[in-house]
Amino acid sequence: MSRARPAFDLSLYLVTDAALTGGRPLADIVAAAVRGGVTLVQLRDKTAPTRALIEQARALQAVLQPAGVPLLINDRVDVAWAAGADGVHVGSEDMPPSLARQMLGPEAVIGQSVGCEAELAALDPAIVDYAGVGAVAATPTKADAEALSPAAFADLCRRLSVPVVAIGGLNLDTLARPLAAGADGIAVVSAICAAADPEAAARALRSAVEAEKAARPQERQP
């Protein structure tokens, strides 16, 4: 029996970076972003100790669960399980999605990074719920990520059979192209985490995303 894909909305996907908040509590940034229209949040912190990361995830869950916004954890399947998060996002060097699925169960949301042909070939749509495709543009939050050409990004979107969220260097000035190429939404980091007013920044981004998607001839069919 095939697994039913869990419900989620990739329209405006916030990836957190505590180093960009200017000392403001991350939970406050996330709460403001959700009020502005963020539809999914990924907690990403490559350096935090396990216990601190679990505590941070639980603090974000307290904000997100009442709003009905899913929380995913970057890489750390153990933290997602311990904190009761909604799922994980993994890259090519992280735990294989098949093992993450075994650990978290059929209802978890599992995303996988895709930035090249090999990563596209490695994605199993029976296991993975969405693909994070990029980098769309150069981004200071992931300096080693090579930007895809517009043609390469569009080709990956066309060939993927799962929903796509574009990631990498995205803001109000750069979101139009990946959405026109077929992405179901955009993932942002500094455009919200570093904003003086995260709620207003999220609201502007969500409005722009919805306008771009409405202008497409037809919705992308995964």
Q: Which two tokens stand for residue 128?
A: 């993975």
3-class SS of residue 68: coil
H or E element in which residue 201 lies = helix 198-215
Find the catalytic residue in 5, 142, 213, 220.
142
User: Does residue 44 carry a catalytic annotation?
Assistant: yes
Q: Is 70 buried (19+), middle (13-18) or exposed (0-12) by CB count in 10 A?
A: buried
Q: Is 125 buried (19+), middle (13-18) or exposed (0-12) by CB count in 10 A?
A: middle
Q: Which residues of 74-84 are buried (b: 16+ CB within 10 A; e: fewer)?
A: bbbbebbbbbe
Which residues are bridge partners to 62 per DSSP? Answer: none
User: For residues 61 and 41, what is the distance between their CA atoms, to the nearest angstrom?
Assistant: 10
Find the catalytic residue in 44, 76, 101, 206.
44
- Which of 135, 131, 127, 126 lies closest to 113, judged by CA? 131
* Chain mean position to CA 6: 15
H or E element in which residue 26 lies = helix 26-36
Find the catalytic residue in 11, 76, 101, 113.
113
Q: Is 134 left (phi over 0), alpha (psi -120 to 50) or beta?
A: left
Which residues are bridge partners to 134 per DSSP? Answer: 167
Residues tagged active-site? 44, 113, 142
